[in-house]
Amino acid sequence: MNSQPRPETILVIDDQEQNIRLVGALLSMAGYEVIPATGAEQAFRRLAVHLPDLILLDLLMPDIDGLEVCRRLKADPRWSALPVIFLSASDDKNLIVEALDSGGVDYVTKPFNKAELLCRVRTHLALKKARDDLRHLAADKDELLGIMAHDLKNHLAGMSLSAGLLCDEPAGLAPRYAGLARNILESADRMQAFVRQFLSNQSAERLSLTSFPVDLVPILRSTVSQHTLAAAAKQISMVLEPPAGPVMALVDPAAAGQVFDNLLSNALKFSPPGRMIRMSVEEGTDGFAHFRIRDEGPGFSPMDRAKIFSRYARLSARPTAGEPSTGLGLSIVKRLAEAMRGGVSLESGDGESAHFLVLFRLAEEGEEA
């Protein structure tokens, strides 16, 4: 037996009981459940017991007027998402603006047209339902990310470890099985790289960075050190041009490290063996620290340049040693740099080797983020 969906509930707040009966009868005939309140205090008591889907609020009430009621609603996390439609006999434009500024979503003047009021109620209930659905989807997405961050990464790491042990078996495997083990290892490594980049992308969407004066040089040196083995495997030289001294910038250290890591990782992926990657960081005269990275790869076509910082962008160039590429690295760099009130740009021309410039705000003496 299918249960009927509960009717949507509307709290009607008005100091005139006659108005509540009139509005309540109209809403009840339209299939809504009505909760009446003849003043602010009664309204807050009823809100604490039953959460409505929408509020119709009289503007001009004694004691506590509708403007103050709306401000209190919006200041309380329990009720801040509830849409509030003001009802008032006043058509003063300044008062209407003040009502909307206090948090109201709409304003209907009395005497109102019944069809118009019902239409506005339906519209704002539909908008609230859409917002609620989006919140639920976001919660589902966060749950999925949690699963990916924990279970999927663990399973992939286990697959990679097992396949690696098979490949390193001293007695050796039959050629056919050795090839299968290598395929498993490569596939697991690719999936792990994708999961890491995907999770980094999601983190960049919900940025909560703390910037403070930091020397960029040690962060960059640490990033270069982490890629030494990958560079050696492709016989690529990484050259860090030493700055004259510390380069103090207002950054989140972890985010700045991720910017360096993504750009250097990309340069290594797309550089042919035996080439060189040059990096430098210095104080600019424009109030920004300048980080530059230049590789000797294939560069970017005009079509590539138009979408280079887009998420999941598939560019014409391919990694030169079969490395995994998700199309997320540069979009993450852009979001992180801009979140720290800096920026990133591609400085090279069409078809030239890649040359990126990243700007970080310089820290002034005594400045705190």
Q: Can you give the residue ranges of every domain in the chain?
A: 9-112, 137-205, 212-361
Task: Provide the terminal-to-terminal Cα distance of the chain, rounded to the nearest Å.
Answer: 60
What is the number of residues in the chain? 369
The pLDDT assigned to 255 comes to 85
**CATH level 3 topology of 9-112:** Rossmann fold (3.40.50)
On whether the CB atoms of residues 71 and 102 are closer than 8 A, the answer is yes
The pLDDT assigned to 18 comes to 93
What does each of the 369 residues of the chain score in pLDDT, given as a tens digit?
455 677 899 999 999 999 999 999 999 999 999 999 999 999 999 999 999 999 999 998 888 999 999 999 999 989 999 999 999 988 889 999 999 999 999 999 988 899 999 999 999 999 999 998 988 887 777 666 666 665 666 677 778 888 888 877 766 667 777 777 777 877 777 677 666 666 665 655 555 678 899 999 999 999 998 888 889 989 999 999 988 899 999 998 888 988 998 899 889 988 899 999 999 999 999 999 999 999 988 888 788 777 888 766 666 666 665 665 555 678 888 988 998 999 999 987 666 688 999 999 999 865 554
Q: At residue 198, what is the residue type?
A: F
The pLDDT assigned to 202 comes to 60
DSSP string, 241-306: EPPSS--EEEE-HHHHHHHHHHHHHHHHHHSPTT-EEEEEEEE-TTSEEEEEEE--S----HHHHH
Residue ranges of alpha helices (H) inside 109-174 are: 114-147, 153-167
CATH number of 212-361: 3.30.565.10
The pLDDT assigned to 364 comes to 80
The pLDDT assigned to 97 comes to 94
The pLDDT assigned to 1 comes to 44
CA dist., res. 52 & res. 303, Å (int): 51
